[in-house]
Amino acid sequence: MGMFENKIAVVTGAGGTLCSEIAVRLAEEGAKVFLVGRTAEKLEKVAHKIAQLDAPKAEIFACDVTDKEAIARLGELVAAAGGCDYLINGAGGNNQKAMPSITKFDPRELDGTLPEGERGLYNIDTEAFESVLKINTMGTVIPMLEFAKQMAKKGSGSIVNFASMNSYCPLTRCFAYAMSKAAVTNLTQSFAAYYAPAGIRINAVAPGFMVNERSKNYLGTVEDGLTKRGEQVISHTPMGRFGQAADLVGCVKWLLNEEASGFVTGATVPVDGGFLTLGGV
C-alpha cells in the first residue's frame, strides 16, 4: 500500500511546476487528488500523467481560489468523494506590474523624470499590488476554511501552505509578494493553534529559488549560463544550485504524514539549499 492509500488530497496551483509534481507523487502514493487551478488545459496535462500511473483517477476543477462560491462548489465535490484529508495550498504568485524596476528610491520617481522604461515604487500599479496580496493571502485562507470543515468532521487532517524565503527576508523589488508571503507564515501559525483541538495540523514550506520556465528567463541555469541576478543567487546558496520540484516532495510528504510529523504544527520549513543561512557578507 502507498503512504496515502485511500486518502483524498486537494492541491491548488496544481498546474504549476511545483504543485503538479507534488500532485503526481501523492497520487503515486495512493491518494485521490483533486487538481485545482485557473487553467483547465494545464490541469489536464497533470491528470494525464496521473492516469499513466497505477493510481486513483485525478479530478480537475478550474477556478480562482479567491472565489468563495467556486471553492464551496469544489468542497461539495470533495465531500461527496469522502471528504478532504490533505490540502496543499500552492496557488499564488507575483505580478510584474506590482514591482518597481529599480531597487532603491530615486527622487526622479516623484516628478516623473525617471528614464524611459524604469519605474519606482511610486509608479507601480496599485491594483496589481492588491491582486498579489489577495491571491497569496485570501487564496490560502479561503481553501483552508472550506476544507478544514471536512477535516474537523473526520477528526484529522493536514494542510501545507506555500510560504517563501521572502517570508523571512524580502528580496528587492518584491514588496507585495514579500508582504503576502510573510502573512502566509503568520497565518499558518495562528490557524494551526486554532484548529489543533480539531486534530488538524497546519504547516508551510518556504521554497527557495526553484527551476521553472520563468526562472530560466531571469536567472538562467547553472548548466547553460547564469544571468547577473542568477549569479547573485547561486553565490548566496551554499548548495550551489537551484531547487527542483522534486526537492519539495519529500518535505511535503513528511508534513502530511501523521506518523512522521504528528507532533509538528505551525511550522514553516525552508527548502532553499541553505539560502537563508547566509547573511550576504
Alpha carbon of 108 to those of 41, 104, 113, 121: distances in Å? Answer: 44, 12, 5, 11
CB 188 within 8 A of CB 161: yes
Burial-class residue 58 by CB neighbours within 10 Å (0-12, 13-18, 19+). Answer: buried
- Rounded to 10 deg, the angle between the 126-154 and 68-81 helix axes is 30
Of the listed 86, 177, 194, 218, which one is catalytic? Answer: 177
- Alpha carbon of residue 104 to chain centroid: 28
DSSP string, 188-235: HHHHHHHHGGGTEEEEEEEE-SB--HHHHHHHEETTTEE-HHHHHHHH
Three-state DSSP state, 62: strand
Q: How far apart are CA 146 and CA 68, in angstroms?
A: 9
Q: How far apart are CA 147 and CA 209, in angstroms?
A: 29
Catalytic: 177?
A: yes
Q: Which stretch of DSSP H or E encloses residue 30?
A: none
Take residue 84 and report the three cell numbers written for it: 478532504
Q: From the DSSP assignment, how many helices (H) and strands (E) are in the chain?
A: 10, 9
Within 227-267, strands assigned E span none
Catalytic site positions: 177
